[in-house]
Structure 1
Amino acid sequence: MSALPASSTPPLVIGHRGAPGYRPEHTESAYRLAFELGADAVEPDIVATSDGVLVVRHENEISGTTDVADRPEFADRRTTKTVDGVRLTGWFTEDFTWEELATLRCRERLPKIRPENVTYDNTEPILRLCDVLSIADAQSEAQGTPLRIVIEIKHDHYFRELGLDLVELLLAELAATGWSERPEQLIIEAFELGALLRLREADVQAQLVFLAERIGSPADEVAAHEANRSHRARSYAWFRSNAGLDLLATVVDGISVAKWNILHLNALGRATGTTDLVQRAHDRGLHVYTWTLRPENRFLNLRFQGSVHGAEWGDWRGEFELVLASGVDGIFVDHPDIARMVRDESS
């Protein structure tokens, strides 16, 4: 694949789980508001129920984002599991049918940082992926422009071990909702390359993007190593190297990285500029996306923090502008309106 040509197209503003800066994440109001505030796309994370329904939750453990812990009828579902090497105790989507999950109500995930959002707790149900696709259809019609969806596949290897193939379920959902023939509107991403390879083999009509955490290795790489010790698990850092980018350029369309891999930090941890990651990826024909741009001090680099109070907003504009200056093709944001403003001013 050749290097990406210079483009005047502004980077996508992607509502990260909707507009969670203003509403509890992954709710209907969060998704509708994200589009109304100028997001070009929204990002639903998908996990599965016991009966194979794709629901949108950041994780399959749902005690932090729903009222499940307060439901006595589900008290016996509380359990401890290891998900992609992390031991968790709580309630998991795969232990519920969709009919059961539909009775739950959503809650703010970061109540101390976004206390205003708590007023919306317990007012909206969990959504299925098909619900989010329907919202995008309705908003596209209302706004007179084709809006995009960025679907993130969560814990692919973990769910396959349970007999729930998220790739197969996703392909069926896209076909059933009419989204299987909209490559200009659909991006699919995953932290596990295996899921993206299976989608490519199925000739899915979408842009495929590999997600790379700051540290560690993909779960499918770790599983392959455990099954065959001669296989060395490739790290996320390796996938960001020139060799890793060379490989990715042959099988996917883009890479999505934490903003900390875009920002160049000095010895004190303060941002002094940007790294060459975007350019190296572009040189190989890969699009580059980054996450997550947020205005609160807790999430900003030291250079842009305005105080020690994590919930207060710092110099978010300065950090957003620096990230955009790297040449990224899209930014995941919690507040689409302010990101859209800075994006448009910088274009």
Structure 2
Amino acid sequence: MHATESLATHARVRIARPLVVGHRGACAYRPEHTIASYELAIDMGADLIEPDIVVTSDGALIARHENELSRTTDVATRPEFADRRTTRRVGRKRRTGWFAEDFTLAELRTLRAVERHPELRPLNTAYDGQFGVLTLEEVVELARRRSTPQRQVRVLAELKKPTWSAERGQPMTELVAAELRRLDAVAPDGTVVLQSFDTAGLRRLRADLGDDGPTMFQLVDITASDDHLLTNAGLRAVSTYAQGIAPSVHRILLRDEDGTMTGVSDLVSRAHSAGLRVVPWTLAAENAFLPRHLRSSDDPAAAGDGLGAARLLLALGVDGVITDNPDVVVAARAELEMPAPARSAA
């Protein structure tokens, strides 16, 4: 295939039904990236479960929200690792804490997961300390184990800062490509779908794994630095290495600074015109994450009208939704699929 030809010419843009992606599992109800969170997302009807992937010092690929570990594990309480605390610039941010790249997989196996948002999801703290750190292989094995002939469960793996990792001597894209080959997960319709904010990393993976390699999504943030990806020219460029975009939901449901929804964008239709699927992130049902008109109160941790937000996104034609609440999006999709009531002949 010519380098400038859209990958969409080799695959359908629209899918049979919108996908439900369990963001870090069902992390509104269980601590993220735990076996309990992923299992619950599958039980709720998610088509894909979404681990974030970072690299350990010995090259293992593990599921953590970011390489800094203190918000999602009990590492800060472990005296044996006190001397690993350090300050490091990761991308544009300077962070202090404990970093995955300073630990072996065996060391990380001793840590226990904790809730990342205890102030918003206090009930999840009841599960603190019950679950360990998973590898990408273990998440893939879970998806395959829970798949049936009638329902394939897949993994949407988000690669965290692969170019930054490569600059530190940890070639994430090479490690991921090798792992996917080992797991026999390199087909476009295979168990693993890849996504990243790192355009260069996705391009390297496409070159390594080929045009018949895994389906890929370009993640797009709300920040102005990503605006170029969503111009018509930018979308056409994305289509040369990815099958879709995963934009912030705020790129579609437009809001002002106080959270009031001001309208909807034309991004979905323009992306479809460029041959790209659109799977936005992240729908979460707490008031803190919803447009003002869908909030139930001023309490940021209280449940708002997440179903209403899901209905809006599906009505705009998105190809899927990445969500902390898979049950909510599954319910909205079921409404969409219900046959219209027959009209009376009278």
TM-score after normalising by structure 2: 0.90
5 Å matches for 1:188-337? 188-204=194-210, 205-216=213-224, 235-265=225-255, 269-337=259-327
Give the corresponding residue for 2:91.
84
- Alignment counterpart, residue 24 of structure 1, candidates 18, 31, 42: 31
CA distance in 2, matches of 1:245, 1:100: 42
Specify every segment of 5 or more residues in structure 2 that has no aligned partner in the other structure, as ranges.
Answer: 1-5, 338-346
Give the corresponding residue for 1:155.
161
Specify every segment of 5 or more residues in structure 1 that has no aligned partner in the other structure, as ranges.
Answer: 217-234
Deviation at 1:152, TM superposition (A): 0.6
Report if aligned partners of 1:273, 1:322 keep a CA contact under 8 Å in 2: no
CA distance in 2, matches of 1:203, 1:183: 14
Deviation at 1:128, TM superposition (A): 0.6
Deviation at 1:250, TM superposition (A): 2.2
Deviation at 1:84, TM superposition (A): 0.5
Deviations 1:212-261 (A, max 9, x none): 11115xxxxxxxxxxxxxxxxxx301111112112112222111111100
Report if aligned partners of 1:274, 1:322 keep a CA contact under 8 Å in 2: no
Q: Note the aligned Cα RMSD (angstroms).
A: 1.8
CA distance in 2, matches of 1:183, 1:279: 24
Give the corresponding residue for 2:342.
none
CA distance in 1, matches of 2:233, 2:196: 20
Q: 1:266 to 1:128 in 2, by over 3 A?
A: closer
Kindly tell me the number of residue pairs found equivalent between the two proteins.
Answer: 328
Deviation at 1:175, TM superposition (A): 1.8
Deviations 1:119-145 (A, max 9, x none): 10001111011110111111114x852
Identical positions, percent: 43
CA distance in 2, matches of 1:308, 1:266: 17
TM-score after normalising by structure 1: 0.90
SS of 1:18's partner is coil
Give the corresponding residue for 2:334.
344
Amino acid at match of 1:236: D
Q: 1:55 to 1:268 in 2, by over 3 A?
A: closer
Report if aligned partners of 2:188, 2:215 keep a CA contact under 8 Å in 1: no
CA distance in 2, matches of 1:92, 1:6: 38
Q: 1:200 to 1:270 in 2, by over 3 A?
A: same
Q: 1:268 to 1:125 in 2, by over 3 A?
A: closer
